[in-house]
Amino acid sequence: MENRKNMKGIVFTLEAMVVFSFFMIILFSTLLLINQPEPPIPLYETVMLNDIYQVLELNYHTDLSQFCITGIVSPELKEYLDYVERESGYSVFFSFNGVNYNLENCNKIISQNRLLVYLDISSDASSNPDVSYFHELKIGLCKKHN
Amino acid sequence: MKTIKMKDKQKGIFSIDASFAVIILLTMSFLFYVFLEAADTSFKQLNTRQKTASLLVFSNEIVRNEATVKTNTESISNKISIESLNNYISYLNQLNSSPYNFNYMEISLCYRSGSCTKLFNKSYSNQTISAERICINRFIIIEGIQDQEGIMRICID
């Protein structure tokens, strides 16, 4: 009887510990549940990249095809890409068969593989020319260069 | 006699049990405050995401359909016809409530040359516009004698 009396009080009781542990578990699990994870795909940037590519397809299709064939970006296309960078705060990069534009020091945010259709006749040493229409161009956004 | 004295000494003004209880109570209150803060931030984030999603859908409607250049068979996405855009804006002007329950809407057109025009702005509630206005820039081509590149800026609250 005296032993029981001694166990009471002084240090926090077992019941209180159990209640407190329950409280902590519920609180932390709710905290974990309400913390919303970042969306896996940046929505705004994806829409922006789609818009940019659509404008490029409408106004700079030949320049894009030229880039894929020769690896050179025309001054008109470069001017437009500079305008995009000024207005959006993001710079655009291209990559096709190992030829890159603006990919050096790129802090990549998002990239997509887009279908670019143009007629490409690559002639080899043999007599059969290789004709292809569908090409995969990688395009993406980087954070603006300082 | 001695044991009674010891017990009296242990009682004191503030017992160990009571101090533990106070510490635990303070910790619980702090944790509950942290929980409320996190819940508030989370709901605000959710609200902003919902607004952003509505803005994206609304801007898509304009840029990919309503204000675009149309042929007999297709509408050319991101190529804006000023005539179609004006028609859509006059339709928006007739509405008493905003299409996506926005409190405020604004549409501006900026040409690559640098000139910007505010084409439409309307407030749908008597509340003052909050600082949390969300805007989106859509890269477009504006149809004309010479097609010009530009940006359509759509802001909502």
pLDDT at A7: 53
Identify the residue whose tokens are 């001694």. A6
What residues in chain A have their Cβ under 8 A from chain B's Cβ atoms?
A: 9-12, 16, 20, 23-24, 27, 30-31, 34-36, 39, 43-44, 47-48, 51-52, 54-55, 58-59, 80, 83-84, 87-88
Sheet containing B116-123: which strands, arranged edge to edge? B68-70, B75-80, B134-142, B148-156, B104-111, B116-123
pLDDT score recorded for residue B133: 86
State how far the Cα of A87 lies from the Cα of A133, in Å rounded to an integer.
Answer: 33
Distance of alpha carbon A79 from alpha carbon B140, whole angstroms: 16
pLDDT at A59: 93
The pair of three-digit structure tokens given for residue B97, joined into one six-digit string: 């409530």
Mean pLDDT of A95-104: 88
Query: What pLDDT score was predicted for residue A131?
Result: 78
CA distance A88 to A82: 10
| pLDDT score, position B85 | 93
Contact B139 A23 (CB under 8 A): no
pLDDT band at B146 (very low <50, low <70, confident <90, very high): confident
Report ipTM (2 d.p.): 0.78
The whole-chain average pLDDT of chain A stands at 84
Averaged pLDDT for residues A33-57: 87
pLDDT for position A58: 93
Per-position DSSP letters for B34-56, written without gaps between them: HHHHHHHHHHHHHHHHHHHHHHH
Query: For B96-120, what is the mean pLDDT?
Result: 90
Residue A6 identity: N
For residues A65-91, average pLDDT: 92
CB atoms within 10 A of CB B79: 21
User: Distance between CA atoms of B62 and A60, rounded to whole angstroms?
Assistant: 23
Structure tokens given for B53: 């999603």
Residue type at B79? Answer: K
Interchain proximity A80–B63, CB inside 8 Å: no
Please answer yes or no on whether A35 and B38 come within 8 Å at the CB atom: yes
Q: What percent of chain A has pLDDT over 70?
A: 86
8 Å CB contact of A11 and B20: yes
CB B149 within 8 A of CB A51: no
Per-chain mean pLDDT for chain B: 85
Mean pLDDT on A70-93: 93
Percent of chain B with pLDDT over 90: 45
pLDDT for A125 equals 56
Report residue A11's pLDDT band, with 50, 70 and 90 as the boundaries. low
- Model confidence over A102-135: pLDDT tens digits? 888 888 899 999 999 988 877 665 667 777 888 8
Q: Quote the pLDDT of residue A133.
A: 84
3-state secondary structure of A41: coil
Q: Is A94 helix (H, G, I), strand (E, B) or coil?
A: strand
Tell me if the pTM is above 0.80: no
pLDDT above 70: residue B87: yes
Q: Is the pLDDT of residue A145 over 80?
A: no
Higher pLDDT: A9 or A50? It is A50
Residues from chain B contacting residue A11 (CB–CB below 8 Å) = 16-17, 20
